[in-house]
Amino acid sequence: MKKIFLLVLFFLSCHSYCYSLDKQDIQKLKDHNYPLKSFYIDNYKDSKTYWISIEKHLELKPKFVAMVLLDVKLNGKDTKYEFIYNSRHNFFKMVKVKKEKKFYQKLYIFTKSELQPSLMNDDRLTYGSFIEKVLDHCHFSEIKGVKDSEGKSLRFSKRGECKIKFVNFVQFENLTFEKFEENSDLSSYLVNKKDAYLITEKTVQKSLKNEQEKTSKKNNKKTKKISEYRSLALSWSTFDDLIVGKMRLGSGTSNGDITLELTKENNTCEGTFVISESYVGTWSIVCPDNDNRQLGFKKNMMASGTIKKNENGHLIGKGKDSLGKKVRFVSERF
């Protein structure tokens, strides 16, 4: 009887972590009204839009997939657009992939590459961290230059809030970026409260990590340690591309540094931040001049603002540039 109880307990605790989706789940996703194919929100101005079918998503055997709804105007009409997010995809790191040309395509010299997400391992990704990544990406990314599979332009405007409707087969309600920042308790967004056990985070790894941190601090009381870099995603109002970078807290101080990569122009922006023990402070960033950059950003591309740590451990930066345009970023957990 004890063995049976432990077996059931193990099944419940790892149900959503020990199980990866596969092709056998295609019909079930369709029954939950997942779109047959979708793309990732990004700027496809100089690239072909990469459309991904349900079948293609499940070939990677992801731990999680999410269905995200976005209220937009599509080609002038109010539309509730649907996207699929895949936990095996690093959608913050889109790369250009040259497809093999057919014989008649080789006549065209300027054939565009597809902008595809790079792949990542999702073994240690939890339900909550996946949802957080999805909401951050959908909220901060811009939709530009999108074309359908036939090459026709899709013009998106007047975006509303991104809402997660499903993660795998668990349904959520009013799960938006703003709501999640205020309240990270996923069970409060469940349509069916009986699904709560499916989204329970594993505590074993967290406890182990806490113990390791305590031991490290105990053995290194007099040693000043430089923190590891944390990735960040930054949104700069009217700037075409999503900007990614990293930040790090200095050795035993309240000062840190910020580095941003403007990948299309091969430029690096440098910045600093200062925070108190309660993780509240200020930041500033300066980018080198570049005449090839879009209008309004060729010179004096700089910004500054305030920074604070939210309840999920992320540093949230808000501010404005020299022209008053809004700048916002979110980092990985500190």
pLDDT of residue 80: 93
Q: Read off the pLDDT band of 249 (50, 70, 90).
A: confident
pLDDT of residue 139: 87
> Do 226 and 241 contact (CB within 8 A), yes or no?
no
Residues 195 and 50 in one domain: yes
Q: Does residue 40 lie in a domain region?
A: yes
Picking from 237, 234, 227, the residue whose alpha carbon sits closest to that of residue 92 is 234
pLDDT of residue 9: 40
Residues 126 and 36 in one domain: yes
pLDDT digits (tens, 9 = 90+) for 257-297: 899 988 777 788 998 888 877 788 888 898 898 888 888 88
Residues 271 and 193 in one domain: no
38-42 average pLDDT score: 93
Picking from 99, 144, 94, the residue whose alpha carbon sits closest to that of residue 116 is 94
DSSP for 183-228?
---GGGGBSSGGGGGGGPPP-HHHHHHHHHHHHHHHHTTT---PPP
pLDDT digits (tens, 9 = 90+) for 143-179: 999 999 888 999 998 889 999 999 999 999 999 998 9
Q: Is pLDDT of 225 > 50?
A: no
Residues 90 and 183 in one domain: yes
With a threshold of 0.75, does the pTM exceed it?
no
Q: Is pLDDT of 251 > 90?
A: no
- 11-20, 26-35, 303-312 — which one is most confidently predicted on average? 26-35
**CATH code where residue 310 lies:** 2.40.128.120
Number of domains in the chain: 2
Q: Is pLDDT of 309 > 60?
A: yes
Structural domain of residue 281, as residue ranges? 230-333
pLDDT of residue 227: 60
C-alpha span between 95 and 117 (Å, rounded):
6
Picking from 42, 49, 134, 128, the residue whose alpha carbon sits closest to that of residue 86 is 134
Residues 173 and 55 in one domain: yes
Give me the phi and psi of 318, to 5 degrees please.
-135, 140
User: Collapsing DSSP states into helix, strand and coil, what is residue 281?
Assistant: strand
pLDDT digits (tens, 9 = 90+) for 62-108: 999 999 999 999 999 999 999 999 999 998 888 888 866 555 454 45
**Pairing between strand 314-321 and 89-97?**
unpaired
* Of 225 and 33, more confident: 33
Residues 265-304: b if buried by 16+ CB within 10 A, e if exposed: eebebebbbebeeebebebebebeeeeebeeebeeebebb
* Of 196 and 213, more confident: 196
CA angle (268 as vertex; 262, 272 as ends), nearest 5: 115
In percent, the amount of the chain with pLDDT more than 70 equals: 81
pLDDT of residue 211: 42
Residue 149 amino acid letter: S
Residues 264 and 122 in one domain: no
DSSP state of 232: E
Residue 117 amino acid letter: P
Q: Does residue 257 lie in a domain region?
A: yes
Q: Does residue 30 lie in a domain region?
A: yes
Residues 177 and 122 in one domain: yes
Q: Is pLDDT of 7 > 50?
A: no
